[in-house]
Structure 1
Amino acid sequence: MDDSQAGNGMDNVVLRVSEVSKRYIMGEVTVEALRRVSADFDAGELVVLLGTSGSGKSTLLNIIGGLDVPTEGRIFFHGREITAATEQELTAYRRESIGFVFQFYNLISSLTALENVQMVTEISGNPMPAEEALRLVDLADRMHHFPAQLSGGQQQRVAIARAVAKRPELLLCDEPTGALDYETGKLVLDVIRKVNDELGTTTLVITHNVSIAAMADRVVHMRSGEITEVERNVRKVAPSELSW
């Protein structure tokens, strides 16, 4: 493995992706979504996975999160092979260790912001209070509102609160600003940065937006199912300073 693909040091590695490939067979056509991808991710770092649609970044995120399995290769979480886990072990991994944030918020419309977050805290082993999670994303004054009473940015912040309320070690964000306007998107990115800073959660953000890469510790460039380049930002840019 190239040193540029690793994080700050072997002892600090939370997640290791080793020679991971993913192939889909669609009739007579085989689609290679990932091609022997390897990378390490360190505790507490914020990494942007950057690439156009079809580059393999969402497939990689789904495999890391235990939502999909690779055709070949291995995933290790704290040295434990996730790709060898049973379905029961994968369920526990997703429930306790992974927080997911998607482009579309997936909130339950009949529940308030507080109740949407409580759905996660009630099944997690060591959650933070739902009220605390909503305060973390600056929604203390909206916790009793229903999704229809919230803006798109506020709904995404509820989704982030729901993801971090379980105190996950990994926060996986799939195009978290994709459905938002420019100013609202920057507010959501600031919340993600805040979670990364204050909770020390290892955070992976996938995006096609080149400008967002400036807020990361490292940027992993993907194309055609491969990692083509990994760069470390000498200076991280605050989300409020981003422009696109």
Structure 2
Amino acid sequence: MDNDQDEVFTTRGLTRLYRMGEVTIRALQGVDLALYRGELAVMLGASGSGKSTLLNILGGLDSPSDGEVHYRDRAGQVHDLTRATQRQLTRFRRHHVGFVFQFYNLISSLTARENVAIVTDISHDPMPPEAALALVGLAERLDHFPSQLSGGEQQRVAIARAVAKQPDVLLCDEPTGALDFRTGIRVLEVLEHVNRETGTTVAIITHNEVIGEMADRIIRLRDGRVDEIHANARRRPPGELRW
């Protein structure tokens, strides 16, 4: 995976500072990193290690204080996200990136199908909501409201909503953080399935070391820096994970 053409994201010297009164917090300190097309990467680190900040910058939700972020689309065109305008970042998020967060952010008055359709209605070449929900194993729950779904099912609707626009990259921030072990495994199985079946690059950030066993690569962050990158010889299926 060392071919530049396979790089979806490349960062160089990525730094993010937050100022809180007299105090400066160094969330990221010179991060050099690449994410590759079609891989499943897990970013591990304790709270405060910088992993959420890094994910937000990659997804165009935040901007670095210094350094560069480049994104290569499927056509091979490279986009400099560091110098992008807010309008360009909005277009980037809308058409190229899917987000999955710890909390599902579903609209309670809409069915599963309608929650997914919110995204497909504004996308260039979306997957039908029904196909996206079938991909995450919810073909029989299309017309259920969030209150009629379990926490794991709601998270799978959130994943369906993210993948329905057929993004190049799926960025997941603690996607199992609010779930019990069994339900979390099911959600991880869905993310692995999306990665395998659609070729979408999937990046998962978590503090849970065991989840790293299902990744192509483990990227370990500590104190705002990349501490270690480790390639797995064999991805372990989520059903084999134990924590």
TM-score range normalised by the length of the shorter chain: over 0.9
TM-score by length of 2: 0.97
Residue number in structure 2 paired with 1:86: 85
1:8, distance to aligned residue in structure 2 (A): 3.4
Instruction: Select which of 52, 56, 61 maps to 1:67.
Output: 61
Instruction: Map 1:77-156 onto structure 2 (within 5 A).
Output: 77-78=71-72, 79-156=78-155
1:29, distance to aligned residue in structure 2 (A): 0.5
Instruction: Select which of 19, 25, 32 maps to 1:25.
Output: 19
Distance in structure 2 (CA, Å) of the matches to 1:228 and 1:77: 23
Unaligned runs of 5+ in 2: 73-77
Instruction: Select which of 66, 70, 81 maps to 1:76.
Output: 70
TM-score by length of 1: 0.97
Letter in 2 for 1:197: R
Corresponding position: 1:220 with 2:214: no
> Secondary structure, in 3 states, of the residue corresponding to 2:31?
strand
Distance in structure 2 (CA, Å) of the matches to 1:8 and 1:215: 21
Distance in structure 1 (CA, Å) of the matches to 2:11 and 2:100: 20
Deviations 1:193-234 (A, max 9, x none): 000000100110000000000000000000110100000000
Letter in 2 for 1:87: Q
Residue number in structure 2 paired with 1:204: 203
Question: What percentage of residue pairs aligned between the two structures are identical?
Answer: 56
> Secondary structure, in 3 states, of the residue corresponding to 2:33?
strand
Corresponding position: 1:39 with 2:39: no
Distance in structure 1 (CA, Å) of the matches to 2:39 and 2:13: 22
1:80, distance to aligned residue in structure 2 (A): 1.6
Distance in structure 1 (CA, Å) of the matches to 2:233 and 2:4: 21
Residue number in structure 2 paired with 1:16: 10
Distance in structure 2 (CA, Å) of the matches to 1:165 and 1:38: 30
1:38, distance to aligned residue in structure 2 (A): 0.8
Distance in structure 2 (CA, Å) of the matches to 1:38 and 1:243: 31
Residue number in structure 2 paired with 1:58: 52
Letter in 2 for 1:118: A
Unaligned runs of 5+ in 1: 1-6
> Secondary structure, in 3 states, of the residue corresponding to 1:35?
strand
Distance in structure 2 (CA, Å) of the matches to 1:8 and 1:177: 30
Deviations 1:108-149 (A, max 9, x none): 000000000000000001101000000000000011000000
Residue number in structure 2 paired with 1:4: none
> Secondary structure, in 3 states, of the residue corresponding to 1:198?
helix
> Secondary structure, in 3 states, of the residue corresponding to 2:130?
helix
Letter in 2 for 1:221: R
1:9, distance to aligned residue in structure 2 (A): 1.9
Q: For the aligned residues, what is the CA RMSD?
A: 0.6
> Secondary structure, in 3 states, of the residue corresponding to 1:156?
helix
> Secondary structure, in 3 states, of the residue corresponding to 1:15?
strand
Residue number in structure 2 paired with 1:181: 180
Distance in structure 2 (CA, Å) of the matches to 1:118 and 1:11: 33
> Secondary structure, in 3 states, of the residue corresponding to 1:185?
helix
